[in-house]
Amino acid sequence: MQTYQIVTIDGDGIGAEVNPSAIAVLGEACGERLRFLAADGGAAHYVKTGAVLPADTFAACRESHAILHGAAGLPGVTYPDGTEVGNDLHLQLRFKLDLYANVRPIRLYAGVTSPLTGWGAGSIDYVIVRENTEGLYASRGAGVNLRGEVVTDTLVMTRKGVERVARFAFNLARRRPGARRDGQRRVTVCDKANILRSYAFFRAVCNEVAADFPDVEIDHAYADAITVHLLKKPDFYDVIVAENMFGDIISDLGAGTVGGLGIAASAEVGDTHGLFQGAHGSAPDIAGQNLASPVATILSGALMLRWLGERHGDATMEAAARRVETAVESVLARGEHVPRDLGGAATCTEMTSAICRALA
Ligand code: ATP
């Protein structure tokens, strides 16, 4: 029986609540198949020790099958350049482990009311694939601040970087049933090719990759226009591939159409490693009060199971992923336990128990 070692980093704020919740649910779904190894990291750890990602944590991440993370970041804990320390935890993991594809599914679950009128369960169901190691965020820590007068950050794109994330998006489209509207497998390239050479390059390389996937339609949308399309015709989308910062922004918008950050799962994967955490931050405003929704982290855990299953040819892990997603959806649909961010009153621990019961 194949078992998997999962490094778990709670981090800061609600990370210490939602990560144990996801561990409980994944343990219920997979039993002895998952071995959890707790590791330190985050802004509070930085304050204590000077390291946001300690060397032993990084070594464990590198040597384990997957990483499950709560969230990191504390208000006021910043580097001298003003940027937040907490974000550096997953940014370092992204770059050091080459996690080039950030997968953010946008799905309207039963029991969740979209702020968009007329959309029911499952009628919004697409995935944003955000390039995760280049683009504008590649300049983090490397921008120039000239005597406090002139500041620059450079947008970086490489052929290799764009090609591999585009290929990832097309391969993902092949494994999906197509867009909700018409069943067409489709990859939408989100850019500003009309304004900047970098984005024109991004589009051109995506078009080249598309030639290898004649069964998947290629579509194009400018980053500003797609914010309107995602509100007006979300069922048209199947897989969207975008540069790092654009992907970051449109995935929060997409999350807003299906219930918000508390339900938005996220997977950051490369060819050999995977990091799984909800799309939200450490939410210091509600931390330590048992108010956070663990749903985003639990659904990210389901993405982890699916990724492990695909990577290791293990159908039982893929089946466990589906069971976790179904358990979450059945709890939300019954309406007895609804987290506060979705209009209910269930605490983090109540949600966890309800989902574990649904699984059992
Ligand atoms: P970051 O930049 O680190 O992603 P952020 O500044 O976008 O973080 P979050 O920490 O994600 O901010 O919080 C944004 C808002 O969403 C806060 O009001 C927070 O309480 C709420 N929120 C985030 N995650 C959850 C959750 N799991 N459950 C309930 N509310 C949440």
pLDDT for the residue 52? 97
- The three-class DSSP label of residue 291 is coil
- Inter-CA distances, 92 with 51, 52, 85, 138, Å: 12, 9, 11, 11
Domain match, 253 and 283 both: no
In a domain, 113, yes or no: no
Q: How far is the CA of 297 from the centre of ligand 1 (A)?
A: 12
Residue in this structure with the two tokens 């897989």, named with its chain if needed: 239
Please indicate, yes or no, whether residues 133 and 228 belong to a single structural domain of this protein.
yes
| Residue 200 resides in a domain | yes
- 95 falls within a domain: yes
Ligand 1 centroid–CA 208 distance in Å is 38
Q: What is the mean pLDDT of residues 173-183?
A: 97
The pLDDT > 90 percentage for the chain reads 96
**Are 240 and 144 in the same domain?**
yes
206, 231, 257: which is the final residue of a domain?
A: 257
Cα–Cα distance for residue pair 144/334, rounded to 1 Å: 53
111 — alpha (psi -120 to 50), left (phi > 0) or beta?
Answer: left
Q: Three-state DSSP class for 188?
A: strand
> Closest Cα partner for 138 from 161, 155, 151?
155
Task: Report the C-alpha gap between 72 and 297 in whole angstroms.
Answer: 13
200 by DSSP, 3-state: which?
Answer: helix
When pLDDT is cut at 50, 70 and 90, the band that residue 1 belongs to is confident
pLDDT at 81 over 90: no
Position 79 in a domain: yes
Residue 318 belongs to some domain of the structure: yes
Which SS3 state, helix, strand or coil, does residue 225 take? helix
User: Across the chain, what does the average pLDDT equal?
Assistant: 96
Tell whether the model's pLDDT for residue 38 goes beyond 90.
yes
Q: Which candidate in 12, 125, 219, 248 is catalytic? A: 248
Q: Is 10 found in the same domain as 72?
A: yes
Are 226 and 129 members of one domain? yes
* Model pLDDT for residues 253-287, shown as the tens digit of each residue: 999 999 999 999 999 999 999 999 999 999 999 99
- Specify the pLDDT at position 83: 87
Q: How far apart are CA 155 and CA 319, in angstroms?
A: 40
Assess whether 253 and 282 both reside in one domain: no
What pTM was estimated for this model as a whole? 0.96
Give domain status of residue 112, yes or no: no
pLDDT band at 33 (very low <50, low <70, confident <90, very high): very high
Q: What is the pLDDT of residue 110?
A: 95
Q: How confident is the model at residue 184 (pLDDT cuts 50, 70, 90)?
A: very high
Share of residues in the chain with pLDDT > 70 (%): 100
What's the angle, vertex CA 95, arms to CA 93 and CA 100, rounded to 5? 100
Residues 253 and 275 both lie in one domain? no
Judge if the beta carbon of residue 29 lies within 6 A of ligand 1: no
pLDDT band with cut points at 50, 70 and 90 for residue 306: very high
Pair 129, 242 in one domain: yes
**Ligand 1 test: best mutation among 248, 280, 291, most atoms within 8 Å of CB?**
280
Please choose, from the candidates 130, 123, 172, 88, the residue with its C-alpha nearest in 3D space to the C-alpha of residue 268.
Answer: 130
- Picking from 352, 328, 274, the residue whose alpha carbon sits closest to that of residue 18 is 352
Q: For 117-161, how does the pLDDT look when each residue is reduced to its tens digit (9 = 90+)? A: 999 999 999 999 999 999 999 888 788 889 999 999 999 999 999
Helix, strand, coil distribution of the chain in percent, nearest 5: 45, 20, 35
Residue-wise pLDDT for 186-221, tens only, equals: 999 999 999 999 999 999 999 999 999 999 999 999
Report the sign of the C-alpha dihedral through residues 37, 41, 44, 47, in that order: positive
**pLDDT value at residue 142:** 83
User: Does residue 172 share a domain with residue 58?
Assistant: no
Determine, yes or no, domain membership for 18.
yes
* CA 315/CA 170 separation, integer angstroms: 22
CATH of the domain at 249: 3.40.718.10
Active-site residue, 233 included: no
From residue 290, give the alpha-carbon distance in Å to each of 32, 40, 134, 350: 28, 21, 36, 9
The range of the structural domain enclosing residue 292 comes to 1-99+270-360
249 and 276 co-located in one domain: no
Distance 2 CA to ligand 1 centre (A): 36
Judgement on whether residues 14 and 138 belong to the same structural domain of the protein: no
Domain count of the fold of the chain: 2
Residues 253 and 287 reside in one and the same domain? no
Q: Can you name the residues that pair with 84 across neighbouring β-strands?
A: 78
Q: Is residue 177 part of a domain?
A: yes
In the predicted model, what is the mean pLDDT of residues 283-294?
Answer: 97
Instruction: Decide: 249 in ligand 1 pocket, CB within 6 A.
Output: no
Q: Which of 198, 226, 257 is the last residue of a domain?
A: 257
Choose the final residue of a domain: 229, 257, 285. 257
